[in-house]
Amino acid sequence: MKFIFVDNPNEGGIKGAQVFKNALANNAKTFGLATGSTPISTYNEITKSNLDFSNKISFNLDEYIGLKPTNPQSYHFYMNKYLFSVKPFAQSYLLNGLATSEEAELARYDRLLEKYPIDLQLLGIGKNGHIGFNEPGTPFDLTSHKVKLTESTIKTNSRFFNNINEVPKYAFSMGIRSIMSSKQILLEAYGENKADAVAKMINGPVTEQLPASILQTHQNVIVIVDEAAASKI
Ligand code: F6R
């Protein structure tokens, strides 16, 4: 793992956008994208830049089940708002949280991921060490799957909703196996509420109880952290 220590998320965004720029310079074709608070500064830097993704492909890590793409809490909506409206990709794939056949939807995503292997995958990390919506206990060898969100994740993500009862209980997520297939991984973490998860990701045992710990076994991982998130390393 290579570490980039930054003073704050804004500086992290500058470094994050640089990683995207380098990937483009190395002819990356497919980008794995994340949502949540963490990547916003990176997306802000990308939208201000002259980086061009118009002949690239993107995949998103996850989507809530049951939310329409027009719902402001959906990850479809988030991606349009923070990135795609300014930096469109040739093709952006997201899991469809309204799919009538969940099984067919997951198979569709896996087929696409096989066809377009990810060159750079952007990740945040949950307080409980999740990556994507792969919660503690998720087998490392899963590809796309349906997830029952943990109470911890529902509570943490309720900050984006009017109240906790509006937070969906289920989501679709790319699996750890798909994430680990990416050529390069960029994980960003900011703030002291990420400090425990970051420390265990780096120094703890590789265990399904801390999904991000699997990244210790990947050959090409960049971690951008601020002082607070790095405080327990
Ligand atoms: C989002 C995702 C999640 C988040 C994680 C951290 O697509 O897959 O794993 O990266 O929950 O969320 P924030 O950045 O809001 O702290």
Q: Is the pTM of this model over 0.95?
A: yes
**pLDDT for 150-207, tens place per residue?**
999 999 999 999 999 999 999 999 999 999 999 999 999 999 999 999 999 999 999 9
| Domains of the chain in sequence order | 2-224 (3.40.50.1360)
pLDDT at 119: 98
The values of phi and psi at residue 226, to 5°, are -95, 175
State which amino acid sits at residue 101.
S
**Could you give the CA distance from residue 220 to residue 1 in angstroms, rounded to a whole number?**
7
**pLDDT for 56-87, tens place per residue?**
999 999 999 999 999 999 999 999 999 999 99
Nearest CA to ligand 1 atom 2: 132
Q: 3-state DSSP call for residue 33? A: strand
Provide the token pair at 158.
Answer: 């309720």
> Is 62 labeled as catalytic in the residue annotation?
yes
**pLDDT for 113-160, tens place per residue?**
999 999 999 999 999 999 999 999 999 999 999 999 999 999 999 999
Q: How many CB atoms lie within 10 A of CB 166?
A: 12
Testing ligand 1's pocket by substitution, the residue of 118, 133, 176 carrying the most ligand atoms inside 8 A of its CB is: 133
Testing ligand 1's pocket by substitution, the residue of 61, 92, 187 carrying the most ligand atoms inside 8 A of its CB is: 61
> Is 130 labeled as catalytic in the residue annotation?
yes
**Could you give the CA distance from residue 153 to residue 130 in angstroms, rounded to a whole number?**
9
